[in-house]
């Protein structure tokens, strides 16, 4: 399985474990749930902390090698969640049309997927959505001791 690096934490993981984001023509980030959109994309772990790190460190613009429109972190998080929701709905509908799923009022979304590969993809997206939906914390907690530009934060003695 191919591996990719997360632009937030820079860890290498299998491609299927990461979310792929691409830039739209107006410079906004968009989730590529199927990981097949044309052009350059960046990969990120399915976690709110990695999303925040990549946003603060400008990892998205660096990975995409282009300037991006300013987008608040909470708005980006909501767009990723909405795109994951749409991908789940689309996959369920496609599975129903193809005969890979059956109607089941007791199942999540009213559809029970019977094909293992399709069910695994739905479970993966549900887990990624839950991880991204975590509340976004304070920006300074992500920066650590070095701050935004890689400079060490002044100690209490240096502040005096």
Residue 150 lies in a domain: no
The range of the structural domain enclosing residue 47 comes to 3-145
Q: Are 85 and 129 in contact (CB under 8 A)?
A: yes
35-41: long-range pairs with CB below 8 Å, 24+: 40/64, 40/65, 40/66
**pLDDT score recorded for residue 151:** 57
Task: Single out the residue of 69, 14, 76 nearest to residue 43, CA to CA.
Answer: 14
- pTM exceeds 0.85: no
Residue 154 lies in a domain: no
Residue 124 lies in a domain: yes
Alpha-carbon gap, residue 87 to 139, rounded angstroms: 29
Task: Single out the residue of 95, 74, 9 nearest to residue 46, CA to CA.
Answer: 9
Residue 153 lies in a domain: no
Residue 119 lies in a domain: yes
Number of domains observed in the structure of the chain: 1
**pLDDT score recorded for residue 114:** 80
Mean pLDDT by 10 residues, the chain (160 residues): 94 94 92 90 94 93 92 91 90 85 75 82 87 69 49 61
The enclosing domain of 48 has a CATH number of 3.30.1230.10
Residue 155 lies in a domain: no
Tens of pLDDT, residues 108-139: 767 777 888 888 888 888 889 888 888 766 54
Residue 157 lies in a domain: no
Residue 156 lies in a domain: no
Q: How many other C-beta atoms are found inside a 10 Å radius of the C-beta of residue 36?
A: 8
């Amino acid at each position: 399985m191919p591996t990719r690096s997360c632009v937030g934490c820079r860890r290498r993981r299998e491609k299927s474990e990461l979310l792929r984001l691409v830039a739209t023509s107006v410079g906004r980030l968009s989730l590529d749930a199927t990981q097949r959109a044309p052009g350059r994309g960046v990969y990120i772990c399915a976690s709110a902390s990695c999303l925040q790190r990549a946003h603060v460190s400008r990892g998205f613009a660096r990975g995409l090698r282009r300037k991006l429109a300013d987008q608040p972190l909470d708005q980006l998080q909501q767009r990723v969640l909405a795109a994951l929701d749409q991908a789940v709905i689309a996959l369920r509908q496609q599975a129903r049309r193809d005969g890979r799923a059956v109607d089941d009022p007791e199942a999540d979304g009213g559809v029970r997927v019977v094909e293992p590969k399709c069910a695994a993809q739905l479970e993966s997206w549900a887990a990624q959505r839950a991880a991204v939906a975590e509340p976004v914390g304070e920006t300074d907690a992500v920066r650590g001791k070095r701050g935004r530009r890689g400079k060490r934060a002044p100690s209490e003695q240096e502040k005096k």
